[in-house]
Amino acid sequence: MSFLGFVEGPLFTVAAVVFVLGVIWKLAGILFLGIRPDYATPRGSALGGAVITNIRHLFPRRIFLANGGLFHFLTGYAFHIGLFILLIFALPHMTFLKDRIFGFGWPALPRWAFIVMAELALGGLLLLWIRRLSDPVQRLVSEPADHISTGLTLLVMLTGCFALQISHDVLRAIHMLLADLWLIYFPFGRLMHSFTFLFSRGMTGAAYGRRGVAP
Amino acid sequence: MNTTADNAATPPAGDAETAIALFLEKTGARAAAYLDACIRCGACANACHYYQASGDPRHAPVNKFRMLEKAYRRHKDPWAWLKRLSGFAPADPDIGDMQEWQELVYDTCSMCGRCTLACPMGIDIAQLVAITRAGLTAAGLAPEPIRSMAAAARDVGSPLGIDAAQLRDILNELSEKHGVPIPLDKEKADVLLIDSSLDYKVFQPTLVAMAKILDALGIDWTFSSKGYEASNLGLFTGQEDVAKAMVERIVTAAEDVGASLVLAPECGHGYASIRWEAANILGRELPFEVLHISEYLARLHREGRFGLRPLDHPITYHDPCKLGRRGGVIEEPRDILRDLAPDYREMEPSGVENWCCGGGGGVLLLESAAKTRLEAFRIKMDQVERTGAEGVVMACAFCHHTFDNGAEHFNWDRKVEDLVQLVAEHMILPGNGAATGHPAGH
Judging contacts by C-beta atoms under 8 Å, the chain A residues touching residue B54 are none
Chain B residues whose CB is inside 8 A of the A25 CB are 78-79
DSSP B354: P
Question: Residue B163 and residue B160: Cα distance in Å, rounded?
Answer: 9
Q: Nearest by CB to A141, which of B62, B116, B122?
A: B62
C-beta atoms surrounding B206 within 10 Å = 28
Q: What digits encode the pLDDT tens for the residues A16-32?
A: 999 999 999 999 999 99
Contact A29 B78 (CB under 8 A): yes
Q: How far apart are CA B201 and CA B171, in angstroms?
A: 11
User: If you measure CA to CA, which chain B residue comes closest to A189?
Assistant: B36
Q: Mean pLDDT for chain B?
A: 93
Calpha distance B126→B264 (Å, rounded):
22
Residue B431 backbone zone (phi > 0: left; psi -120 to 50: alpha; other: beta): left
Helices B66-75, B29-37: inter-axial angle, 10-degree rounding: 110
Q: Which of B140, B60, B129 is nearest to B95 (CA)?
A: B140
Residue B317's DSSP bridge partners are B393
Which pLDDT score, from 0 to 100, does residue A169 have? 85
Question: What is the per-residue pLDDT across A22-75, written as a single tens digit (0 to 9) for each?
Answer: 999 999 999 999 999 999 999 999 999 999 999 999 999 999 999 889 999 999
What is the least distance, in Å, from the CA of A136 to any CA of chain B?
6
Q: CA nearest A59 in B: which residue?
A: B120
* Lowest-confidence segment of A95-104, A151-160, A164-173, B63-72 by average pLDDT: A164-173
Using CA atoms, how far apart are residues B153 and B246, in angstroms rounded to an integer?
7
Q: What's the average model confidence in pLDDT over A144-170?
A: 89
Report the pLDDT value the prediction gives residue B15, as an integer from 0 to 100.
85
**Which whole-number Å values give the CA distances from B153 to B41, B156, B229, B246, B393, in the listed order?**
39, 6, 8, 7, 28
Cβ within 8 Å, pair A53-B122: yes
A59 close contact with B: CB closer than 8 A: no
To the nearest whole angstrom, how far is the Cα of A123 from the nearest Cα of chain B?
17
Task: Tell if the CB–CB gap between B285 and A60 is shorter than 8 Å.
Answer: no
- Chain B nearest-CA distance from A122, in A, is 18
| Res B441: pLDDT | 38
Domain range summary for chain B, segments of one domain joined by +: 2-138, 156-299, 303-428
Closest CA in chain B for residue A49: B122
A213 with B324: Cβ contact below 8 A: yes
Q: What is the pLDDT of residue B14?
A: 56
Q: Which residues contact B1 (CB under 8 A, 6 or more apart)?
A: B156, B161
CATH topology of domain B303-428: Rossmann fold (3.40.50)
Q: Is residue B269 within 8 Å of B232, Cβ to Cβ?
A: yes
A26 touches chain B (CB under 8 A): yes
Structure ipTM? 0.95
Contact B78 A41 (CB under 8 A): no
Q: How far is B257 from chain A (nearest CA, A)?
A: 21
Shortest CB distance from A35 goes to which of B29, B37, B122?
B29
**Chain centroid, CA B205 distance in Å:** 19
Fold category of B156-299 in CATH: Glutathione S-transferase Yfyf (Class Pi); Chain A, domain 2 (1.20.1050)
Residues of B in contact with A200 (CB under 8 A): 33-34, 36-37, 121-123
User: In chain A, which residues have their Cβ closer than 8 Å to the Cβ of B51?
Assistant: 137
Query: Looking at chain A from residue 62 to 121, which residues have their Cβ under 8 Å from any Cβ of chain B?
Result: 63-64, 66-69, 72, 76
* β pairing state of B191-193 and B289-292: unpaired
- Chain A closest CA to B273's CA: distance in Å? 11
Where is B18: in which H helix or E strand? Answer: helix B16-26
Is B12 a residue whose pLDDT tops 50? no
Domain definitions of chain A by residue range: 3-28+37-209
Contacts with B276 from chain A: Cβ below 8 Å: 40, 211
Number of H helices, E strands in chain A: 10, 0
Residue B316 — very low, low, confident or very high, per pLDDT cuts 50/70/90?
very high
The reply to whether residue B353 touches residue A61, judged by beta carbons under 8 angstroms, is yes
Residues in chain A: 215
Instruction: Report the candidate in B222, B221, B214, B212 with the shortest Cα–Cα distance to residue B425.
Output: B212
Which residues make Cβ contacts (< 8 Å) with residue B197, sequence separation at least 6?
B158, B159, B160, B162, B229, B231
User: Which residues on A lie below 8 Å from B29 (Cβ)?
Assistant: 30-35, 199, 203
Chain B nearest C-alpha distance from A56 (Å): 9
Is B2-138 in CATH node 1.10.1060? yes
**For A64, which of B30, B43, B327 is closest by C-beta distance?**
B43
Partners of B394 in the beta sheet?
B418
Mean local confidence (pLDDT), B124-143: 95
3-state SS assignment for residue B370: helix
Q: At what angle do helices B331-340 and B419-426 cross, to 10 degrees?
A: 40
Predicted confidence at residue B432, as pLDDT, reads: 63
Q: Which residues of chain B lie closer than 8 angstroms to A66, CB-CB?
A: 46
Q: Which residues of B touch A28 (CB under 8 A)?
A: 78
What is the number of CB-based contacts under 8 A between chain A and chain B? 178
Distance of alpha carbon B320 from alpha carbon B325, whole angstroms: 8
Beta-strand ranges (E) seen in B149-215 are 191-193
Q: Could you tell me the pLDDT band of residue B435, with boundaries at 50, 70 and 90? A: low
Q: Which of B239, B186, B346, B285 is nearest to B8 (CA)?
A: B239
Long-range pairs of A86-89 with CB within 8 A, sequence gap ≥ 24? A86/A114, A86/A117, A86/A118, A86/A121, A86/A157, A86/A160, A89/A113
Of B32, B117, B123, the CB nearest to A33: B32
DSSP track, B238-274: T-HHHHHHHHHHHHHHHHHHT-SEEEE-S-HHHHHII
Across the range A106-122, mean pLDDT stands at 94
For A200, which of B79, B121, B326 is closest by C-beta distance? B121
CATH superfamily of A3-28+37-209: Transmembrane di-heme cytochromes, Chain C (1.20.950.20)
Residue B10 confidence (pLDDT) above 60: no
* Torsion sign over Cα B230, B231, B233, B235: positive
pLDDT digit string (tens) for B342-392?
999 999 999 999 999 999 999 999 999 999 999 999 999 999 999 999 999
The amino acid at residue B44 is: C
- Average pLDDT over chain A, rounded to whole? 95
With CA atoms as reference, report the closest residue to B353 among B46, B34, B40, B30: B46
Shared fold status for B156-299 and B303-428? no
* β-strand partners of B292: B264
Please give the average per-residue pLDDT across B205-217, as a whole number.
97
The whole-number pLDDT of residue B436 equals 54
pLDDT at B204: 97
